[in-house]
Structure 1
């Protein structure tokens, strides 16, 4: 029987990598890429588990899923840090580098 590639196996891997790379974009892009990769990986895993001998590239799916989970965790942490900074310093102060430097000097001495 001929083996086929799992659908979206390469896309899952790419989105997993992008979720880590873009986690510092206020956490939003990394979160989106990570969630999409995780959903696609779960679909591909269920397809693979039905007939494992018919498909290849399951390693890409597993790797992409792990990278997506890491990207989601990093994105959530960065998003929480960003929300905390906005709550602590205020949005206007974060836009002005001079004001931000003064606030940081006050905070750390």
Structure 2
């Protein structure tokens, strides 16, 4: 019997990569892609473990799962830091005011 590609193995890898890239978008996209990749990796692992001799592409699943975990951690850190910044400085306007104040102090010290 001919071996076939494990379903969604390439898509899991792509979602794992996107979860790392998505951490730059305040963490929200990274969390979404990471969770989707982990759920799909779990299903693909169950399929592969049932009959490993029928499928190829399990390496993509493992790599995608690792990337998804890394992306989730980075995205969670990014999301938490964004929330802390909003709480501490009152949103975007507060951050801009803080930057302007720092620039004025720097100009006065020169």
The alignment's TM-score, normalised by the length of structure 1, stands at 0.89
Matched, 1:100 2:101: no
User: What are the ranges of 5 or more consecutive residues in structure 2 without an aligned counterpart?
Assistant: 104-110
| Equivalent position SS for 2:23 | coil
Please report how far the alpha carbon of residue 68 of structure 1 lies from its aligned counterpart in structure 2 after TM superposition.
0.2
CA RMSD in angstroms comes to: 1.8
Q: Distance in 1 between matches of 2:98 and 2:46?
A: 49
How many residues of Structure 1 are paired with residues of Structure 2 in the alignment? 104
In 1, Cα distance between the equivalents of 2:47 and 2:101? 54
Counterpart of 1:84 in structure 2 is 84
Distance in 2 between residues matched to 1:48 and 1:103, nearest whole Å:
58
What residue is the counterpart of 1:53 in the other structure? 53
Give unpaired runs (5+ residues) of structure 1: none
| TM-score, length basis structure 2 | 0.88
- Mapped pair 1:38 → 2:38: yes
